[in-house]
Amino acid sequence: MKISISLGGSLLPREGTPETYQRYAQVLRKLKERGHTLIVVCGGGKPAREWIKIAKELGADSYTQDRLGIHATHLNALLLIAALGPDAHPHIHRRGSEVKRNLGDRILVGGGHLPGSSTDYRAVLFAEAAGADLIINATDVDGVYDKNPKSHPDAIKLDRITFPQLERIILENTEQAPGEYGLFDLKAVRRAKKLRIPLVFIDGSDPEEIMRAVEGGHGGTEVR
Ligand code: UTP
């Protein structure tokens, strides 16, 4: 299978130990050995938000704020490339054309590209470029809820939903601004819907969930 993974920045903490990256590398390597073709886009997470906050306080415009976020995604991408060693292509992938060109034996790792966007959107564009069968969104939440579970303790987790249902949940629950894409970038959802590529949301804080998202038995949410 060809799989594009959005590895949320929340899973890749700046103060994290090398083990964080090694654990993801181990699972990705296992999937590669089982014959899967992988593209992994790293998010910016907390460091991105911290740099964006400082830039905001300095009076930077949103274009500059986004550029800082993009740099943060590239730092995480480089660390994952380092953890994967020879199993990864050494380039930080930013464009679909690069993914198309380099798709092969090695795992492709990418980060952000254009201001005003997100790594979620990159993951969908890379899925399109690769002709992927599946997009995985790995974050620190174990699936899609009808409301934001961090602020609503009564939120209900949904096992299977449609793309229009996901769009509605995102519109009702998240702000679309630099550093604030929340559950999943709405633009990315709309593109995945158009491409008809299934999207799976999983709790990536357990890297084995990535394996289960591919081979079955995950505890997240499937969107079709
Ligand atoms: P992310 O897309 O990683 O956002 O990029 P995030 O909020 O940390 O989401 P997760 O949890 O990792 O999935 C961090 C910031 O970098 C900018 C945006 O401001 C984004 O919020 N960015 C990123 C871009 O402007 N363009 C990109 O292609 C990627």
Domain range summary for the chain, segments of one domain joined by +: 2-223
Mean pLDDT of the chain: 93
Mean pLDDT for 170-195 is: 79
pLDDT tier, 148 (very low <50, low <70, confident <90, very high otherwise): confident
Q: Where are the beta strands (DSSP E) in the chain?
A: 2-7, 37-42, 88-93, 107-110, 134-139, 144-145, 157-158, 160-161, 199-203, 221-223
Give percent of the chain with pLDDT exceeding 70: 95
Measured in Å, residue 133 CA sits from the centre of ligand 1 at 23
pLDDT tier, 15 (very low <50, low <70, confident <90, very high otherwise): low
Of 115, 116, 119, the closest CA to residue 73 belongs to 119
Q: Mark out the alpha helices in 103-222 (DSSP H runs).
A: 119-130, 163-173, 186-195, 208-215
Confidence (pLDDT) at 14: 56
Of 74, 175, 184, the closest CA to residue 123 belongs to 184
- Of ligand 1's listed atoms, the one at least distance from the Cα of 182 is 7
Give residues (CB < 6 A) around ligand 1. Answer: 8-10, 43-45, 48, 66, 69-70, 73, 112-120, 122, 139, 178-179, 181
Measured in Å, residue 119 CA sits from the centre of ligand 1 at 5
8 A C-beta contact, residue 158 and residue 146: yes
Confidence (pLDDT) at 182: 66
Confidence (pLDDT) at 201: 97
Mean pLDDT for 5-18 is: 83
Mean pLDDT for 164-182 is: 73
Mean pLDDT for 140-163 is: 90
Confidence (pLDDT) at 10: 86
- Of ligand 1's listed atoms, the one at least distance from the Cα of 67 is 25
pLDDT tier, 208 (very low <50, low <70, confident <90, very high otherwise): very high
Query: How far from chain centre, in Å, is Cα 163?
Result: 17
Q: Encoding tokens for residue 191?
A: 């593109």
pTM metric for this prediction: 0.93
pLDDT tier, 93 (very low <50, low <70, confident <90, very high otherwise): very high
Q: What is the pLDDT of residues 23-78, one digit of tens each?
A: 999 999 999 999 999 999 999 988 899 999 999 999 999 999 999 999 999 999 99
Confidence (pLDDT) at 151: 79
Confidence (pLDDT) at 181: 45
- Of ligand 1's listed atoms, the one at least distance from the Cα of 121 is 28
CATH architecture of 2-223: 3-Layer(aba) Sandwich (3.40)
For the cut 90, the answer to whether the pLDDT of residue 122 exceeds it is yes
Confidence (pLDDT) at 64: 97
